[in-house]
């Protein structure tokens, strides 16, 4: 698997790079603890869950959970559990999206996708069980002393990832293939498919911190705009990047005839839109002072990332 450090590109500010690496290490340790090996007969399922979830990616979502939780002095152990749960849900969605019946992708983070490394049935089950484990972790007492906070985490993560969120976005994406979407439709599709989970990740710190509603909303809006900027940057990478830089198959959108803001507006206007969203995202952090410095750097960086 690609180590978090290799995933970080040279254009990144050093403080942000250090912060991302530290947060990635935190969530990696939590995932390693929370996804143990299983008994002999089912060992293959546990292996596939760990394969899909450990050692990979920028851990953007975990970073958002951990950084927003730190704004409210939440216990790092509790925050790491929530970050791990979010990464489990994210990993489950990637495992299922990569399946032959879905995007049919052989490569993920420069490595064989889970159904290629194991088999299709194991990948389906591993995705299923990662989702289950994510919700289980959130509901367990170690995640927060107040069960009300745990219930909010479960309900909000479910809303972000279910039929009215991520799964609905994936359905929309499949239905839209071969159709010509408007920019507004593409924006809605991406808000569902990737935006809602990124938004939840930023909001999670406020839920953990039992923050006043105004602060919780500010962080949710930060996550929403950041997620939208992030997705446009992702589409720019797919259109203009290389396999070596990104560690994944590129040119997929064009090959599939898939509309993105890049194909609809052109790379220049799409990049301008991403930059606008990133500034808007940073604006929602105005009330949080210096403690939100890394989150602001992330918003500025995300548009210019190369992987």
* Binding-site ranges for its own copies (CB under 8 A): 38-39, 41-42, 44-46, 49, 92, 96, 99, 101-102, 119-122, 124-125, 127-129, 131-133, 135-136, 138-141, 146-148, 150-152, 154-155, 158-159, 161-164, 167-172, 174-176, 185, 188-189, 192
Closest approach of Cβ 304 to its own copies, in Å? 31
Closest approach of Cβ 73 to its own copies, in Å? 22
C-beta closer to its own copies: residue 6 or 120: 120
C-beta closer to its own copies: residue 60 or 192: 192
Closest approach of Cβ 77 to its own copies, in Å? 18
Closest approach of Cβ 203 to its own copies, in Å? 15
C-beta closer to its own copies: residue 139 or 276: 139
How is the chain split among helix, strand and coil, in percent rounded to 5?
A: 75, 0, 25
C-beta closer to its own copies: residue 65 or 278: 65
C-beta closer to its own copies: residue 70 or 166: 166
Closest approach of Cβ 168 to its own copies, in Å? 4
8 Å CB contact between 16 and 294: yes
- b/e map of 36-46 (b: 16 or more CB within 10 Å)? eeeeeeeeebb
C-beta closer to its own copies: residue 159 or 276: 159
Q: What CA–CA distance (Å, rounded) separates 305 from 307?
A: 6
144 is written with which tokens?
């927060």
Match 């403080």 to its residue by tokens. Answer: 15
Q: What CA–CA distance (Å, rounded) separates 263 from 240?
A: 11
CB atoms within 10 A of CB 5: 11
Q: Where are the alpha helices (DSSP H) in 72-162?
A: 76-97, 114-117, 120-139, 147-161
Cα→Cα distances 265→217, 224, 273, 278, Å: 30, 21, 10, 18
Closest approach of Cβ 155 to its own copies, in Å? 4
Residue 217 CB contacts under 8 Å (≥ 6 apart), including other chains = none
Tell me if residue 289 falls in helix, strand or coil: helix
C-beta closer to its own copies: residue 171 or 276: 171
Tell me if residue 112 falls in helix, strand or coil: strand
Closest approach of Cβ 91 to its own copies, in Å? 13
Q: What CA–CA distance (Å, rounded) separates 42 from 205?
A: 34
169 is written with which tokens?
């976005």
Q: What CA–CA distance (Å, rounded) separates 87 from 106?
A: 20
Q: What CA–CA distance (Å, rounded) separates 71 from 209?
A: 8
C-beta closer to its own copies: residue 20 or 74: 74
Closest approach of Cβ 83 to its own copies, in Å? 18
């Amino acid at each position: 698997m690609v180590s978090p450090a290799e995933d970080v590109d040279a254009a990144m500010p050093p403080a942000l790079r250090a912060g991302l690496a530290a947060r990635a290490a935190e969530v990696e340790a939590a995932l390693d603890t929370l996804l143990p090996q299983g008994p002999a007969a089912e060992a293959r399922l546990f292996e596939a869950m760990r394969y899909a979830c450990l050692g990979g990616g920028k851990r953007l979502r975990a970073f958002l959970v951990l950084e927003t939780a730190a704004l409210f002095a939440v216990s790092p152990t509790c925050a790491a559990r929530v970050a791990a749960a979010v990464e489990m849900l994210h990993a489950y969605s990637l495992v299922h999206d990569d399946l032959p019946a879905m995007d049919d992708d052989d490569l993920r983070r420069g490595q064989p996708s889970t159904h290629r490394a194991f088999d299709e049935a194991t990948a389906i089950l591993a995705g299923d069980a990662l989702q289950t484990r994510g919700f289980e972790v959130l509901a367990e007492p170690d995640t927060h002393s107040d069960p009300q906070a745990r219930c909010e985490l479960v309900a909000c993560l479910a809303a972000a990832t279910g039929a009215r969120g991520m799964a609905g976005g994936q359905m929309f994406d499949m239905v839209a293939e071969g159709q010509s979407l408007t920019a507004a439709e593409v924006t809605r599709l991406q808000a569902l498919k990737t935006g809602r989970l990124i938004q939840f990740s930023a909001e999670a710190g406020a839920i953990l911190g039992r923050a006043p509603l105004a602060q919780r909303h500010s962080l949710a809006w930060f996550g929403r705009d950041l997620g939208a900027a992030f997705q446009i940057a992702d589409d720019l990478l797919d259109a203009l990047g290389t396999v070596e830089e990104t560690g994944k198959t590129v040119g997929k959108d064009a090959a599939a005839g898939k509309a993105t803001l890049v194909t609809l507006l052109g790379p220049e206007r799409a990049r301008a839109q991403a930059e606008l969203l990133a500034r808007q995202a940073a604006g929602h952090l105005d009330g949080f002072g210096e403690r939100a410095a890394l989150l602001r750097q992330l918003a500025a960086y995300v548009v210019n990332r190369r992987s």
